[in-house]
Amino acid sequence: MLILGIESSCDETGAAIIKDGRYLLSNVVASQAEIHDRYGGVVPEVASRQQLTTIIPVLETALDQAGCGWENIDAIAATYGPGLAGSLLVGLTVGKAVAMAYNLPFLGVNHLEAHIYANWLRGRIEGASNESEHSDWEYQEGDPIFPSMCLVISGAHSELVLVRGHGQYELLGRTRDDAAGEAFDKVARILGLSYPGGPAIQKAAQHAQEELEQQGKPATQALNAFRLPRSWLRGTYDFSFSGLKTAVLHLAEGAVSEQNVHHTRSSENAGKQVSQYTRMGLRAAQRGGANVELLAASFQEAVVDVLAVKTRLAAQEYHVKQVVLAGGVAANVSLRARLERELRPLNIPLKYPAIEFCTDNAAMIASAAFFHLLRGEQHGLDLDVEPGLSLPFSKK
């Protein structure tokens, strides 16, 4: 079965053609990151206008790259929430329009669920044949295994979800304030790093560690060069990142006292220097700011610490067969490595999507749609956007 997926929930425009929910014929993503970098974050009005100009070329490219015509497509799927209303409207409307024009089944997809389904995606295959090679679609070698503990971490969500089967979600914990990705983005902005913040902070942190290694010091010194707070919220699986963000802000503004800084040679006077960078306009700090990099590394470590430990605890308590990462922050290499280390002694495998499927893309939309269509579900063309949509949680 070939599904054309469309994604337009925020600042990425995506179209993809996926076979049997897993195999890629094409996956096209047009990112607006460069445009929003100027503002340090997504400007909704700009995002939706940009979606409008990009959607048709992206759709045509996806068909071209797959070597497909409309006659090969079996169903259309588009994100209907959560996300920015204006951006969602563009992809959903185009999706419904082509479904009507070509008389194809249509399915609206929950963007968060699609992030989870990114874990079903495999590599590329050639050829537009929509004949399925598998008679049994229930489970294929390499698919995620249920029950799994899924950490959904994106720009707007941070949730620990017990996944018992296809479409069976139990919410165990969520962020009480900022989402993990949002914290990365806001801290990057504070430090004068580029948007989106996650990759920029990861890069700065890696650089800080390489520098220390070159000086013959343990790279791990970078991870606690600054003593940053962790909100453990013990007894719950909830998260909180706003205190951490504020701590970075205070350091960056120079509200740093001696005891906040561990005296590794390279982090001496770190607070003072960061404060100068703040006044200079922090973007300049990126060029010469070793201490900005140390602060980025310490911040990333604080986020990774909490996410990894709480996920491991939940995985232990619920005796899951696998831990699964989903969402843009799942691209973070430190998080992946740390979780592997946490889970290894417990013999719980960790699964995460390839980097290109972690951040917003349409391949994951088509994958999620496939499993709904298998269950005989589809939507009418009166489906509207739902900017505040959450995962369809069942009661515990």
Site residues, Zn ion (CB under 5 A): 154, 360
4 touches ligand KG4 by CB under 6 A:
no
Residues 151-180, one symbol each (x = binds ligand KG4 by CB under 6 A, - = not), give ---xxx------------------------
Nearer to ligand KG4, 2 or 114 (CB): 114
* Amino acid of residue 183: A
Figure out which of the listed residues 95, 192, 197, 289 binds ligand KG4, where binding follows CB under 6 A.
197
DSSP 41-93: S--HHHHHHHHHHHHHHHHHHHHHHHT--GGG--EEEEEEESS-HHHHHHHHH
φ, ψ of residue 244 to 5 degrees: the values are: -65, -45
199 touches ligand KG4 by CB under 6 A:
yes
Residues 340-379, one symbol each (x = binds ligand KG4 by CB under 6 A, - = not), give -------------------xx-------------------
Q: C-beta of 40: minimal distance to Zn ion in Å?
A: 19
The helix/strand/coil state of 103 is: coil
Q: C-beta of 329: minimal distance to ligand KG4 in Å?
A: 4
Stretch near ligand KG4 under the rule CB under 6 A, chosen from 25-33, 94-102, 265-273, 321-329? 321-329
The helix/strand/coil state of 323 is: strand
Figure out which of the listed residues 185, 238, 342, 386 binds ligand KG4, where binding follows CB under 6 A.
185
Q: C-beta of 152: minimal distance to Zn ion in Å?
A: 9
Q: C-beta of 184: minimal distance to ligand KG4 in Å?
A: 4
Nearer to ligand KG4, 202 or 378 (CB): 202
> How many helices (H) and strands (E) are present in the chain, helices listed first?
13, 10
Q: C-beta of 331: minimal distance to ligand KG4 in Å?
A: 4
CA-CA-CA-CA dihedral for 121, 300, 82, 110, to nearest 10: 20
Q: How many residues bind ligand KG4 (CB under 6 A)?
A: 20
Q: C-beta of 199: minimal distance to ligand KG4 in Å?
A: 5
φ, ψ of residue 222 to 5 degrees: the values are: -65, -30
Nearer to ligand KG4, 45 or 268 (CB): 45
Q: C-beta of 155: minimal distance to ligand KG4 in Å?
A: 3
Q: Which of residues 92-111 bind ligand KG4 (CB under 6 A)?
A: none
* Amino acid of residue 116: I
> How far is 150 from 322, CA to CA, in rounded Å?
9
331 touches ligand KG4 by CB under 6 A:
yes
Figure out which of the listed residues 144, 173, 327, 353 binds ligand KG4, where binding follows CB under 6 A.
327
Q: C-beta of 303: minimal distance to ligand KG4 in Å?
A: 8
> How far is 73 from 15, CA to CA, in rounded Å?
13
Exposure letters 112-141 (e unless 16+ CB within 10 A, then b): bbbbbbbbbbbeebeebebeeeeeeeeeee
**Token output for 307:** 């996410």
206 touches ligand KG4 by CB under 6 A:
no
How buried is residue 215: exposed, middle or buried, by Cβ count under 10 Å (0-12/13-18/19+)?
exposed
Residues 247-286, one symbol each (x = binds ligand KG4 by CB under 6 A, - = not), give ----------------------------------------
196 touches ligand KG4 by CB under 6 A:
yes
* Among 127, 113, 80, 78, residue whose Cα is nearest residue 99: 78
> How far is 226 from 231, CA to CA, in rounded Å?
16
> How far is 107 from 258, CA to CA, in rounded Å?
57
Strand 322-326 to strand 148-153: parallel, antiparallel, or no bridges (unpaired)? parallel
Footprint on this chain of ligand KG4 (rule: CB under 6 A): 10, 115, 154-156, 181, 184-185, 196-199, 202, 327-329, 331-332, 359-360
